Amino acid sequence: MNETKEVELKERAATLVRAAQDLTVTDQESMTLANDFVIKTRAGKKGVVEFFREMKQSAHTAWKTICNKEKGITDVFEQADGIASKKVIAYRNEARRKAEAAQRKAEQERLAREQKERDRLLKQAEKAEAKGNAEKAELLAEQATEVHEPAVIAEPAVQKTEVANEGTVSGIPDWDVQVLSTMAVIQAVAAGDLPEHIVTVSIPQIKKHAKDNKIKNYRKNGLIIEQTERLSAKSSFNRG
């Protein structure tokens, strides 16, 4: 029965489109006929919405029930994932911190050794010069300027991808973002620091603002708001 009714509604809709294309509005009489057509068309649309309402509600209720069951279980999995992931990330961060501290210490020690060797050579150069051996003093001073100990490049504290028994886990860059002011985001977009597509523009909200503030014509910086007209149709008959 529903399938038959659905076919009837589709055929009627197609017929209305053809009839609308044949409409001409040239005088008061033809405008009245066109207005009647609009009223009947909108009433028919309401009938279509009503026809599908129960089916949509049943499907939505079933879908929502299934989604809630799914979420109730996946939330627990995500909780377990979150706990374990935080511990892994904490370990990786601490390992990096220790490695960076060790690297800084090794670099400081390397520089200290270089300086110590320079000082030793310069001291010998001073002694040689004091003894009148200018050639040896010059050679030692030159050696002092060339003192260099290669830096030690430490191995990464943690690998980007770690091999586990069940597979692999990779650390990938991520960013925390806090928006404390919508205007700050808009200003960042205006300055070119952020792309335009991150801002969602709500046309219905703009229309509501224009209506509430009686804006009839606004043209500025790529935004155009104009008051136009749309038809509101009411049927004189109660349709069952």
Within this chain, do residues 77 and 116 fall inside the same structural domain, yes or no? Answer: yes
- The strand pair at 223-226 and 217-220 is best described as antiparallel
- Max alpha carbon distance in the chain (Å)? 125
Over residues 59-92, the pLDDT tens digits come to 999 999 999 999 999 999 999 999 999 999 999 9
- Rounded CA-CA distance 176/196 in Å is 20
Q: What is the number of structural domains in the chain?
A: 2
- Secondary structure of residue 220 in the 3-state scheme: strand
pLDDT at 240: 42
Q: Is 182 exposed, middle or buried (0-12, 13-18, 19+ CB in 10 A)?
A: exposed
Least confident residue range of 3-7, 24-28, 232-236: 232-236
Under the phi-then-psi rule, with left for phi > 0, alpha for psi from -120 to 50, and beta for the rest, what region is 231?
A: beta
In this structure, the answer to whether residues 60 and 93 fall within a common structural domain is yes
* Same domain, residue pair 96 and 141: yes
Q: What is the mean pLDDT of residues 217-228?
A: 91
Cα distances from 48 to residues 114, 139, 144, 158, 239, in angstroms, run 87, 100, 93, 62, 13
Q: What is the pLDDT of residue 237?
A: 66
Examine the domain organization and report whether 132 and 223 are in the same domain: no
Specify if 49 maps to a domain: yes
Other beta carbons less than 10 A from residue 140's beta carbon: 20
The mean predicted confidence, pLDDT, of the chain is: 92
Element at 27 (helix H, strand E):
none
In a domain, 196, yes or no: yes
Residue 239 is assigned to a structural domain of this protein: no
Percent of the chain residues topping a pLDDT of 70: 98
Q: What is the pLDDT of residue 235?
A: 81
If pLDDT is split at 50, 70 and 90, which confidence band does 1 have?
Answer: low
Q: Which amino acid is at 25?
A: V
- For residue 191, tell me if it sits in a domain: yes
One-letter amino acid at 227 equals: Q
Full domain range(s) for residue 194 = 179-227
Extract the tokens encoding 41. Answer: 């068309």
